[in-house]
Structure 1
Amino acid sequence: MLQPTSLPVVLVLASGRGARFAASGGAVYKLRAPLGAKTVLEHTLDAVRASGLPWHLEDAGHPGMGDSIAAAVRATAQAPGWLVLPGDLPLIRPDTLRTMAAALADPDCAVAMPVCQGERGHPVGFAAVCLPSLLALTGEQGAARVVREQAQQGRVRQVEVDDEGTVTDIDTLQDLERAAQLLAARG
């Protein structure tokens, strides 16, 4: 992780088992799967580094997404907010990460969710007010409960983005092939 700043920390989650990828015929762990000249995770980390935002890689084994998020937040508890980014989003763009960080600067926004062509994606941003709820997460559900809590208070902001990388995750070999096509089209 980089030095503490007034910017939210990008939490790159790389603790999953990748069971769906293996079930689809994947011979390696999905984050280590080759995508062009790099692995899926290397592409994700390159975008995070290029964003200039502080970041934390959570790659210790955890039983579920909620556990991974809670561990990453615990490791960066002094941050003013967090962008939760699964490691299997290799096409995410640095400018999108900065856009999501900027959305959290609004004092009325506790949760910022990117939306690309009507589809919700990642990273989902959480302001510091969400700290207790994020630390309490366990299991497979991720932070959906935290989003619902904040939505009931009218503190969730949807941020329109033009970045297919927010919704292009790698869960199967077919997803990897589609990501390779999109990456090639970007040049």
Structure 2
Amino acid sequence: MVDPLGILLLAAGKGQRFKAAGGVGNKLLAPYADAAGQQRPLLALTLAQAAASGLPLHLVTRPQSEAIVDLAQQFGATVTLLESGGSGDSIAAGVQATANWRGWLVAPADMAWLSADDYLKVAAALVNDNAQARLMWRDIPGHPVGFGRAYFAGLSVLRGDQGARQLLLPQYLQLLPGHAGVIKDADLPRP
């Protein structure tokens, strides 16, 4: 059996920008309208699209986030609990927990406007172990960002809040056309 590519969602942040802008509570549990107009937690919208891709799904969150863990498990995601110091720590923990994957599609868990097709487009571009891919919108880098198997070691040792940007190599990185949703997150509360 071929090892799968999978989606790694980062949900261990503290939501400080969201709270500083007037948001209340955990932004991943804040209500947002789905396609049918029903109010659902922001994370449920993200998980629904990721799960619809059919790719394995893993989420990294904080130990005290029981509601986040419950939602993730409802969508078939495996979970790593981590007192994260930033996205680098979260990526490293998630990659280590999914060491059998042949590639990772990394995205923040507050990007509910990514579609299942977005994940599949990036996955399709990871044709070999050295491949990298990311969606773009109007020359702005978006998510998810895909890494082939060759980046396991580099992803596994990331620390702090730097993320994986330093691992992106122009000679391997495919920039794929996206839409406004590939750059939209929920750092600001809804008006």
TM-score normalised to the size of structure 1?
Answer: 0.84
Match of 1:157 in 2: 174
Contact 1:114–1:159 under 8 Å retained in 2: yes
1:109: how far off?
5.0
Residues 1:87 and 2:109 aligned together:
yes
Answering whether residue 51 of structure 2 is matched by residue 35 of structure 1, we say: no
Please tell me whether residue 71 in structure 1 is matched to residue 93 in structure 2: yes
Measured in 2, the distance between the counterparts of 1:143 and 1:5 equals 25
- The structure where strand makes up a greater share of residues is 2
SS at match of 1:130: helix
Residue pair 1:73, 1:82 contacting (<8 A) in 2 also: yes
RMSD: 1.5
Unpaired runs of 5+ residues, structure 1, are 178-187
* Alignment partner, residue 13 of structure 2: 16
Deviation at 1:12, TM superposition (A): 0.8
How do residues 125-140 of structure 1 correspond to structure 2 at under 5 angstroms? 125-140=146-161
**CA contact under 8 A between 2:102 and 2:129: conserved in structure 1?**
no
Farther-moved stretch of structure 1 (18-27 vs 116-125): 116-125
Q: What residue number does 2:145 align with?
A: 124
| 1:117 positional shift | 2.5
**Is 1:44–2:80 an aligned residue pair?**
no
Same amino acid, percent of matched pairs: 39
Q: Which residue of 2 aligns with 1:170?
A: 186
Question: Which portions of structure 1, spanning 4 or more consecutive aligned residues, are displaced by more than 6 angstroms?
Answer: none
Q: For 2:11 and 2:49, locate their aligned partners in 1 and report how far apart those are by CA, in whole Å.
A: 15
Q: Which amino acid aligns with 2:108?
A: P
How many residues matched?
166
Q: Match for 1:115 among 136, 142, 149?
A: 136
Q: Relative to structure 1, is the Cα distance of residues 159 and 108 closer, same or farther in structure 2, using a 3 angstrom cutoff?
A: farther
CA distance in 2, matches of 1:120, 1:109: 20
Hey, which of these two has a bigger chunk of helix by percent? 1
Deviation at 1:5, TM superposition (A): 5.2
Give the TM-score, by structure 2 length: 0.82
Segments of 5+ residues of structure 2 without an aligned counterpart are 34-38, 62-80
